[in-house]
Amino acid sequence: MRRVAVIGIGQTKHGKRNDVNYPELVYEAVKRALEHADITIGDVDAIVTGSMPAPMEGTNDPQLWLTDALGGYLKPLMRIATCGSTGISLAHSAYYHVASGLFDVVMAAGMEKMYENDPQGTMTTVAEPFYQRIFTAGAPGIFAQQCNAYIHRYDIPKEKLREAAAEVSVRNHLDALENPYAHIRVKITVEDVLSSPVISYPVRFLDLCPISDGSCAVIFASEDFVRKAKIDRVAWVRGLSYAGDEHNFGDKDLVNWESAIKAARETYRMAGIENPIKEIDVAEIYNPFTYQEILYYELFGFCKPGEGYKLVLEGAVTKDGEIACDPSGGVLCTNPIGASGLIRVAEAALQIMGEASNQVDSCETALAHAMGGVNQFNGLMILGR
């Protein structure tokens, strides 16, 4: 397998983008990625694109409408959809196409126009209809079930966890203020979080991510191309893995989340990481709600099971802590679902390049992660210098 690097990154401003149509939105990200890499669309051998299934965004087969905007004329172009993990799936696909030797340069592009449909209404139909659907209230209901199972499993002090979750929301919103592409750029307090409405106990409104319109493009290239093109600002892919889990809630452990554990373990093995909290400088974790970010600290080996809240309360996951988690503001502040996982890769790569809007000093190793399905898929990627 050949060495592969990220050489170009482009994002749109995320939010409610009624000012552009779908192709115009995607073109913004593609153009910026090409300019960042200092290459032309002619240098790109293939394109991997993805968004949520059509019912989520009200656009049928978006790749048909986006071929020109993606620069896909007479190029191999394929679409991937794994729900929230679509973005990391795109990054993995682009990586393997280059690492295998099939192509030298592949662009991954994720996108979403969520304000053109009712994604929350669609989410209620994801669960199995005869039994599981009545126990969920869309994504918040699924997250709440996982959170309550987590509290019960480890007998976690509810007030401590509640405080830690509020701090996670406050930190992400504060970091998003430094990110010009972020959707939600508002300073909030712990009291704001604790007094926001309960959506599905114990999840409150400010524990949850928004819906966003937006797009992200990331260009992957072989070591040979990097050398020939004399590109000196890159982020090398050091490890990656992806794992799926059962669809039915009753058939899987929502706390001892096997797909997340397996994906992390295999990614660390490939990257040669033995002590993640000491060896990883930045972790761009897919955090659609606060409690889940805390659970991921444990699943990814940053701390012991049941102790994730302690990392928050001790300040270990801030920009100046042991490991900076989501310095971009994360999914909690920006969520164009088909692009959200790819944004994690983009932000991790920018940290390695020293070009992130909320740059962490001396960042040498960064983790990118995304989750999709009904708490079903988990994918990770480690990038480094």
The three-state (H, E, C) secondary structure of 293-305, written as one string:
HHHHHHHCCCCCC
- Check whether 216 has a pLDDT greater than 80: yes
Q: How far is it, in rounded angstroms, from Cα 333 to Cα 124?
A: 22
Q: Are 22 and 62 in contact (CB under 8 A)?
A: yes
Task: Return the bridge partners of 47, or none.
Answer: 77, 107
Which amino acid is residue 230, in one-letter code? K
pLDDT at 152: 96
Instruction: Tally the C-alpha atoms within 13 A of residue 312's C-alpha that lie toward its C-beta.
Output: 28
User: Mean pLDDT, the chain, as a whole number?
Assistant: 94
Segment 252-260 mean pLDDT? 91
pLDDT at 251: 75
Q: Are 367 and 356 in contact (CB under 8 A)?
A: no
Share of the chain above pLDDT 70, in %: 99
Q: Is the Cα torsion angle 176, 331, 38, 363 positive or negative in sign?
A: positive
Taking phi over 0 as left and psi of -120 to 50 as alpha, with beta for the rest, 15 belongs to left
- Check whether 306 has a pLDDT greater than 80: yes
- Check whether 375 has a pLDDT greater than 90: no
Share of the chain above pLDDT 90, in %: 84
> DSSP letters of 79-128?
EE--GGGHHHHHHHHHHHHHHTTS-SEEEEEEEEEGGGS-HHHHHTTSS-
SS3 content of the chain, % helix, strand, coil (to 5): 45, 20, 35
pLDDT at 371: 97
pLDDT digits (tens, 9 = 90+) for 5-22: 999 999 999 999 999 999
The distance from CA 78 to its chain's CA centroid, rounded to whole angstroms, is 20
Of 243 and 117, more confident: 243
Q: Are 205 and 140 in contact (CB under 8 A)?
A: no
Lowest mean pLDDT among 16-30, 133-147, 326-340: 133-147
Segment 161-188 mean pLDDT? 98
pLDDT at 169: 99
pLDDT digits (tens, 9 = 90+) for 76-133: 999 999 989 999 999 999 999 999 999 999 999 999 998 887 777 777 776 777 777 7
Q: How far is it, in rounded angstroms, from Cα 284 to Cα 97?
A: 24
Q: How far is it, in rounded angstroms, from Cα 111 to Cα 11?
A: 10
- The three-point CA angle 213-379-308 to 5° equals 95
Lowest mean pLDDT among 109-118, 151-160, 355-364: 109-118
pLDDT at 59: 72
Q: Which domains does the chain have, with CATH numbers?
A: 4-119+211-228 (3.40.47.10)
pLDDT at 205: 97
- Check whether 250 has a pLDDT greater than 80: no
